[in-house]
């Protein structure tokens, strides 16, 4: 079979489209055989964490349904306050950012968030302003603000020393040049 594939790709009587198709098939077959050989032989006798993660069955088993970010019944929004800051960008001017921020938390963790927020609210606000100061301008122009939301969620959880905040959402977000 391999000899037939090799001769088909070199035969001038076979149309160019067919030769490309057979060449692609040949490369795909070589890749699959190489992958099969690599998976059978492996690099070492030990199972690394990366190899365990690559196993789809183990990945599905480890999926935690409770880590969902939004659920109108289980989760609720907790007010984190209003924020306003300005950013000077050399050569581009000064920009003003203002928004109302809400944390999305599981209902059963609402009290834990309230306790952490009352103890460390100043740290949380400083972490939010630091994150905004480090954020590039193009992320403020994203329609979903996904990158900023992700960074703010991480900063809030770190500053409050908890992992109960699943997501953050903005209310009245404004980003404009002043």
| pTM of the shown model | 0.60
Number of Cβ atoms within 10 Å of the Cβ of 136? 10
> Is the pLDDT assigned to residue 17 strictly greater than 80?
no
pLDDT in tens, 64-121: 555 555 666 788 999 999 999 998 888 989 999 999 999 999 999 999 999 999 999 9
Which pLDDT does position 29 carry in this prediction?
81
For domain 75-177, the question of CATH label 2.60.120 is answered with no
Which pLDDT does position 56 carry in this prediction?
65
Stated as kind and residue range, the H or E segment containing 81 is strand 75-89
What tokens does 169 get?
């959402």
What tokens does 55 get?
């196993």
Which of 129, 132, 120 has its CA nearest to residue 158?
120
Domain extent listing, the chain: 2-63, 75-177
């Amino acid at each position: 079979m391999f000899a037939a594939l090799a001769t088909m790709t070199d035969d001038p009587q076979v149309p160019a489209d067919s030769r490309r198709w057979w060449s692609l098939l040949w490369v795909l077959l070589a890749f699959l055989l190489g992958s099969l050989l690599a998976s059978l032989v492996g690099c070492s006798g030990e199972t690394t964490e990366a190899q365990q993660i690559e196993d789809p069955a183990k990945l599905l088993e480890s999926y935690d349904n409770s880590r969902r970010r939004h659920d109108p019944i289980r989760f609720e929004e907790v007010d984190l306050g209003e924020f306003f800051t300005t950013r000077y960008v050399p050569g581009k001017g000064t920009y003003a950012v203002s928004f109302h921020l809400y944390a999305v938390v599981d209902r059963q963790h609402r009290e834990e968030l309230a306790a952490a927020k009352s103890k460390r609210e100043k740290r949380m606000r400083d972490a939010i302003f630091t994150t905004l100061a480090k954020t590039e301008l193009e992320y403020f122009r994203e329609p979903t603000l996904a990158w900023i939301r992700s960074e703010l969620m991480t900063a809030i959880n770190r500053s409050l020393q908890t992992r109960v905040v699943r997501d953050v959402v903005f209310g009245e977000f404004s980003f404009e040049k002043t």
